[in-house]
Amino acid sequence: MVGLTSKLSRQQLFQWSRWPTWARAYLLLLPAIGIIGLLFGGGLILACLQSVGVIGILGEAKPSLAAYGAAFSHPELGRSLWLSFYLAALATGLSTVISVGLALLLRSAGRWATIACQITLPIPHLVGVAGILLLLSPSGFLARLLMAFGWIQSDQDVPLLVNDPHNWGVLIHFLWKEIPFITLILLAVLRGMNPYYEHQARALGANPWQCFWNVTLPMMKPGILSASLIVFGYIFASFEVPFLLGSTRPRTLPVLVYRAFTDTDLGKRPEAVALGLLLSGVSMAILALYLVLTAKSRQPYAERGDA
């Protein structure tokens, strides 16, 4: 039955008699699509033209693929790309898992729990960076407290947590900022859910773990996937945080692009554009892969054909 109705609605959707609705929808979307298309799409196309020299950055146009040659032979490229991916994946994975737990914990905790999750929401990333630098640096507040308690003898005993080779500072910053963000979204998703299915499962004898794994988690899945995609995309492209808190070598790909872009040698500009396009390309590939892999689980639970 469900399959039949969904097929019917799809036929209705593509009936040409519905064109006034479509026209209205396209018209309503036009300003937003137009602005994003001009800025983002146009910017991307121009960057492509710049990178192959069809548009000369310094005035003269000289079509060549030299910029890509320079970008791909950049000695740090491989390690930077890996570092960006590794940091984004680790920070997103950890904060998503912790947020799911936290959201379930706070679900019945009422209004003030949501407010608690909002503490870091209005805090600019640069303020977080400043706070974490003054907290975790070798002579920072944490080291002072540890000294006062007599747990360490000198600032040499503090593990290096900022600008360290393992990027602990970057990771801590993103967990601090993104866990409340994802938790806030998941709390909203949880509270918008019909608790009937969970009651039913428990009434039929499922234990709390079975109920969570087979009922609650599948219903949360679209929200979890969307929130983690937004967060992954943000961290992967983030520049300020790894620049100020991260390891000096290797540097993340956005930091590498920024360095090439701000190089005093303007001849490096095409290489910067090529590196930037590589970064965008990888982001887009990840987005596409993600959409293909999660196509089914992203549909809202109630609308799914096989539900």
Site for other proteins in 81-110 (CB under 8 A): 102, 105-106, 108-109
Q: Does 128 bind other proteins (CB under 8 A)?
A: yes
Stretch that binds other proteins, among 65-73, 160-168, 194-202, 266-274 (CB under 8 A): 266-274
* Rounded Cα gap, residues 210 and 132, in angstroms: 39
Q: Helices (H), strands (E): how many in the chain?
A: 15, 0
The size of the chain, in residues, is 307
Q: Single out the residue of 2, 8, 61, 145 in contact with other proteins (rule: CB under 8 A).
A: 145
Query: Measured from the CB atom, is 215 or 219 closer to other proteins?
Result: 219
Shortest distance, CB of residue 273 to other proteins, whole angstroms? 5
What character string, x for contact with other proteins (CB under 8 A) and - otherwise, covers 209-248? -------------xxxxxx-xx--xx-xx-xx---x----
Which has the closest alpha carbon to 256: 282, 289, 231? 282
CA-based end-to-end distance of the chain: 12
Q: Does 72 bind other proteins (CB under 8 A)?
A: no
Find the helix or strand (DSSP H, E) in which 167 lies.
Answer: none
Alpha helices in 107-238 (DSSP H): 111-117, 125-136, 141-148, 168-191, 196-203, 208-211, 217-237
Rounded to a whole number of angstroms, the CA Rg of the chain reads 24
* Rounded Cα gap, residues 124 and 34, in angstroms: 29
Query: Measured from the CB atom, is 26 or 86 closer to other proteins?
Result: 26
Count of residues engaged in binding other proteins, rule: CB under 8 A: 109
Task: Work out the angle at residue 145's Cα, subtended by the Cα atoms of residues 173 and 179, and round it to the nearest 5 degrees.
Answer: 20
Q: Does 21 bind other proteins (CB under 8 A)?
A: yes
Query: Measured from the CB atom, is 143 or 201 closer to other proteins?
Result: 143
Q: Single out the residue of 71, 81, 132, 161 in contact with other proteins (rule: CB under 8 A).
A: 132
Q: 27-46: which residues touch other proteins (CB under 8 A)?
A: 27-29, 31-33, 35-37, 39-40, 42-46
Q: 286-305: which residues touch other proteins (CB under 8 A)?
A: 287, 291, 298, 300
